Amino acid sequence: MTTAIIITFCSLLLIAYLFNLTSARTKIPTVILLLILGWAIKRGVEYFEVNVPNLSAILPVLATAGLILIVLEGSLELRLNKSKISLIKQSMLGALVPMVGLSLILAYVFSLVGEYSFLQCLTNAVPLCIISSAIAVPSVSNLSEFDREFVIYESSLSDILGVLFFNFVIMYESIGVSSFGHFSIQLVAIVIVSFIATLGLALLIRKIDHHVKFIPIILLVILIYTILKVYHLPALIFILIFGLFIGNVDQLRWFAWIDRFKLEVLKSESEKFKDLTIELAFLVRALFFILFGFLLETADILNIQTLSWSIGIVVLFFMVRSLQLKLSGLSFKPLLFVAPRGLITILLFLSILPEQQIPFVNNSLIIQIILLTAIVMAVGIMITDTDEESEMETIEEIPSGENN
C-alpha cells in the first residue's frame, strides 16, 4: 500500500511538471489539465472500486499554503525601480478598480435575485472577481516583455488586494466610517509588525550558515502569517512586504542602515530563496488543483442551472476588462483574454461561513467560471500567436524593393 501511494504521488507530480513544460507550446492552461487529471483519477478510482479516504479536509490546508507561497512568489517577482513606476500604476489600477467595480455590480445583481443583504452578496461576489496569478503567470511565458510583466504585476496585485478586500468585507457586520477607521489602524499595525518581522527574517537568511536554511525561513513565514490571522490582522500584507524586501534588496542601497545587512550576501541568498519558493509553489499548486479535480463531481461541471449564470458573469468580466484596457491605452490582444480565476477564488469561496453563503454561488458556479475564463485565455493566446506568426510571414514575403 505504501509503495502504491509513493508511486502514485510521484507520478502525478511528474505529470503536472510535464503539463507545466508543455503548456507554452500547447497553449492549454495547466490548471485545466490538472483538473482533468484529478477528475479522471476519481473516475478510475470509482470504476476499479478503490477505497480512498475522504480528502476534502486537506483542500483548505493546501489552499492556504498555496496562497502564501503564490503571493510570496509574486511579490518576489515584483521590481521596485523608477523604470517600472508607470507599469506598476497601470497594473495596480488594472487589479484594483475592475475588481472592486465588478464586486459591487455582482453584489447588486445578487441582491436583486434573492432576499440577501448587500454585504452578504458582496462577500460571495468578491472571490469571483480576483484574477489568479497561479494560472495567469505560467500561461504568458511566450508573450512580449511588456505584456508578460503587466500580467505578472496585475495578477499578483489582484491576489493580494483581492484577499485584503475580502477580509475587510467579512470582518464587519456593516461598513461605515468606523469600520474604515478600524481597518486603517490594523493596516498600520500590520505594516509595523511586518517591517520588524521582515528585518528579522532577512537577518536570519544572511546569518544562518547551516546547509538547511531556507525551509526554516519559509516555515517561520507561514507561522507568522498564521499567528497574525489568529489576531484578525490582514496577514497577507506581511507576505507582500517580506517578498518585496527580499526581492528588491539591490534597490534599497539608498537607505544608509541597509548596508548592515551586507547586501551582496543577502542578494545572493535571496536568489536561492526565490528559486526554492517557486518550486514549492509549483508543488502545492499542482497538488491543490489535482485534489480539487478529484473532488469535483461531473454534475457540478455540467450543471445547466448555473451555466447561464456562469456565462453571464464571464461576459461581464470581459466587458469591464475591455473598458479598463481602452481607458488605460493598453493593447487588447492578448491582455483582454488574460483574466483567469483560480486558486484564490476557490480558497476564499471555501472560507465563507455557511450562514453567509448564497445558494446559487456554489461549487458548480465556481468551477464553471474557472474553466470558462481559462478556456477564453487559452483561445485568446492562441489567436494572438497565430496573428503574430501571420504578420511575420507577410513581412518576410515582401520583396525588399517594395519597401523603397
Q: Per-residue pLDDT tens for 338-362?
A: 999 988 898 899 889 889 999 989 9
Residue 292 within any structural domain of the chain: yes
Q: Give the model's pLDDT for residue 237.
A: 84
Residue 403 within any structural domain of the chain: no
Closest by CA to 140, choosing from 384, 367, 366, is 384
Residue 100 within any structural domain of the chain: yes
Residue 395 within any structural domain of the chain: no
User: For residue 372, what are the CA distances in angstroms to 44, 309, 343, 364, 366?
Assistant: 25, 12, 15, 12, 10
For the chain, how are helix, strand and coil distributed in percent, rounded to 5?
Answer: 80, 0, 20
The domain spanning residue 242 has which CATH number? 1.20.1530.20
DSSP 361: S
Split into its structural domains, the chain has a count of: 1
Q: Which residue has the cell 487588447?
A: 332
Q: Compare 172 and 243 and report the one with higher pLDDT.
A: 243
Q: Give the model's pLDDT for residue 262.
A: 63
Least confident range of 60-64, 109-113, 120-124, 137-141 = 137-141
Buried b (16+ CB within 10 A) or exposed e, 221-258: bbebbeebeeeebbbbbbbbbbbbbbbbbebbeeeeeb
Q: Give the model's pLDDT for residue 381.
A: 84
Q: Is the pLDDT of residue 389 over 60?
A: no
User: For residue 158, what are the CA distances in angstroms to 77, 133, 190?
Assistant: 14, 8, 19
Q: Domain range for residue 259?
A: 2-388
Residue 42 within any structural domain of the chain: yes
Q: Is the pLDDT of residue 244 over 50?
A: yes
- pLDDT confidence band for 392 (50 / 70 / 90): very low
Residue 402 within any structural domain of the chain: no
Q: Compare 319 and 244 and report the one with higher pLDDT.
A: 319
Packing angle of the helix pair 58-77, 236-247 (nearest 10 deg): 40
Q: Is the pLDDT of residue 8 over 80?
A: yes
